[in-house]
Structure 1
Amino acid sequence: MLTPVDISCPYCGEPLEILVDASAGDQYYIEDCQVCCRPIQLGIRIDADGEPQVSASSENDA
């Protein structure tokens, strides 16, 4: 099941909604900003309640 999560682009600050598959466990991947097209590094951890906790960073922050 895909869960919508709100984040902000670390480059342009635009609010974005991403879909996270919480059943896949912890994940790390890159998704381009829908506004400025720069690569956002996403780190997704699933907490004890099964809710995704998302961190979004730029390439330079990693």
Structure 2
Amino acid sequence: MLEEAIVTCPCCWEEIVLEIDLSGGSAVYTEDCSVCCRPMTVRVTVDEEGGFEVGVESEEG
């Protein structure tokens, strides 16, 4: 099941839309920002009722 999440890139501060695949449950992965192309860590937490939270953080120190 795909959902969309609007997040703010931690590098360029632009709002971007991420497609989140909830079928795999909670996950942590790297994705490049569609605006500035810098890598960010995406953390998806899926709860038992099917709700989810998405957090992002920069991979650059």
Query: TM-score, structure 2 length as denominator?
Result: 0.90
Residues 5-61 of structure 1 show CA distances to partners (whole Å, capped at 9, x for unaligned) of 110000000001101111210101000001110001001000232122011000146
Query: TM-score, structure 1 length as denominator?
Result: 0.89
Higher helix share: 1
Runs of 4+ aligned residues of structure 1 deviating over 6 Å after TM superposition are none
Gaps of 5+ in 2: none
Task: Give percent identity, aligned residues only.
Answer: 38
In the alignment, is residue 7 of structure 1 matched against residue 7 of structure 2?
Answer: yes
Give aligned pairs, total. Answer: 61
Task: Calculate the aligned-residue CA RMSD, in Å.
Answer: 1.2
